[in-house]
Amino acid sequence: MQILFLSSNRHKAEEIIGMSKAFGIDLKWSRYEKLEIQSGDTSEVARTSAALAYAALRKPLIVEDSGLFIDALKGFPGPYASFVYHTIGLEGILALLDGKRDRGAHFKTSIGYADGSSTRIFEGIVHGSISDRVHRGRAFGYDPIFVPSGSKKTFSEMGVLEKNKISHRMRAFEQLAEYLIKNNAKEKVIK
């Protein structure tokens, strides 16, 4: 049985597909435009999107919703990170933090899995801080300004394998993989 990954974001799809291969999970990317509710909670967004998509497609699937929560901005942009990225961008976020000493932040990913019998949520969080400038490297979302705790490099300065060892998305995906391996091996989700 193949599981669909629904996303219009090619970069997220590449990361998730790479993760699925490491666990032997048969995952196929679909650019299906999922319905996404407006909520301050990434888990609520992922749960609702997964349930609605399953009702329409009737195939096992996963969806993903991530947010960047900046302490000095009271959690802004949170789950609205994509909208904010496409409107004010990285430079806009840095401008909002200009002169602020507290640059703490965290990424949170919620993966929703629906298979007809249930809809489950798997979450991953990585803490860090926002750099004082945009760093070069793999440019994907907020990666050029997010420095994970314990590192001196932004996500964009890391290779894919290095980033995936500690990323919020991988932490959520590991939980999903563990669930699938434990509960669905009989259904041949795992190759």
Residues designated as active site: 65
Q: CA nearest 4: which of 112, 163, 89? A: 112
Whether 64 and 75 have beta carbons less than 8 Å apart is answered as no
Cβ-proximal residues to 77 (8 Å cutoff; 6+ apart), any chain: 67, 68, 70, 83, 84, 85, 93
SS3 57: helix
Query: Residue 25 carries which DSSP code?
Result: B
Q: Where are the beta strands (DSSP E) in the chain?
A: 3-6, 27-30, 61-70, 77-78, 104-114, 119-130, 146-148
Maximal CA-CA distance, the chain: 56
